[in-house]
Amino acid sequence: MIDNYPSVTVLMSVYNGEKYLSDAIDSILNQTFPDFELLIINDGSIDGSSEILHNYSQQDKRIRLHHQTNQGLIAALNKGLELARGKFIARMDADDVSLPERLAIQLAFLEAHPDVGVLGSGAVAMDSSGISSYTVQFPMQHDVLRWFLCFTNPIVHPTAMMRQPIVAQVGGYNAAAVHAEDYDLWCRLCCVTRLSNLQNVLLLLRKHDSNVSKVHTTQQLQNSVHISHLMISHILNEEISSDIVQRLWDNEFQKSSDVRPVAKLLYRLYHAFVSNNELSIKETQIIQRYAAMRLYGLARPWAQDVNVWGVLAQAFYLDPELLLRPVKRRLMHAFGR
């Protein structure tokens, strides 16, 4: 610790989170890495959260509380960025659980890789009762993550650890990106720093009926498509039709001729990533196979229409084993390989 400032600020926003709040706080206080502050923004909670937070703050001086009227998650997180004293910002949600070595493992990686400014990790989804189900993992390579940012959010927000100066450089969270604020932030940060994901599972991700993805599905999707449109236009260095990007996300078409412009956009993106020969063989393969899978998914419902045969041909050109891969995965799983 330098000048009494911690290495890491764990940033948590709380709004009416009493049900899972103690589990979330305990998971941070029980980290094996000791040099952190837990900065909690109480965003106008009207349930029992305030009392829980008060009791914890009296017991552990690593907790800093900031109370404010309800202003929403983005305002709360930006207030947290303003108040944070750590060189690194670790995000944490009030309903998730960080595994004990999360901070230690992520900080060690970032100190060993000074070119990486944002680091996520794997997570295991669990239900409201804490029963685990499936694992969420995304690629670790920066250029592969840039590719996936064109179509989805490939860093689980509450697993992220970020360098504070770089987040400040891009202005923190964008108030216009409601319910997609993390996706927007990664897209802006990837232009000024490298992104990565650890494959380690370092977080238990709570899935319940109050999750943003369930309560605000429409607005989240709308803003995500807009962010995707900006990202794709930036990579291709031209203004792309927002309607085509919308169709890329919807993956629904009224007629076969609607498939071709979306497939053309996807194929152009693929070439934009692989044409400079800067990717490793593995990175190229990941992007190539994903592009093939998406092209096949676009054309498959219209496979009997000659208008999409060219799209299918592109898919199989990129990945000749496209149809065999699911079978191979099932066989490998069945034989424990």
Q: Map out the domains of the chain as residue ranges.
A: 8-209, 217-327
DSSP tag of 241: -
Domain 8-209 annotated CATH 3.90.550.10: yes
pLDDT at 99 over 70: yes
Around Cβ 221, how many Cβ atoms within 10 Å?
Answer: 16
- Mean of all residue pLDDT scores within the chain: 93
CA distance 159 to 220: 19
Give the tens place of pLDDT for each residue, 190-237: 999 999 999 999 999 998 666 665 667 899 999 999 999 999 999 999
Give the tens place of pLDDT for each residue, 240-251: 999 999 999 998
pLDDT, residue 241, reads 94
Helix (H, G, I), strand (E, B) or coil at 140: coil
pLDDT at 297 over 50: yes
DSSP tag of 157: G
CA nearest to 85, candidates 148, 149, 139, 11: 11
Q: What is the mean pLDDT of residues 309-325?
A: 91
pLDDT, residue 1, reads 43
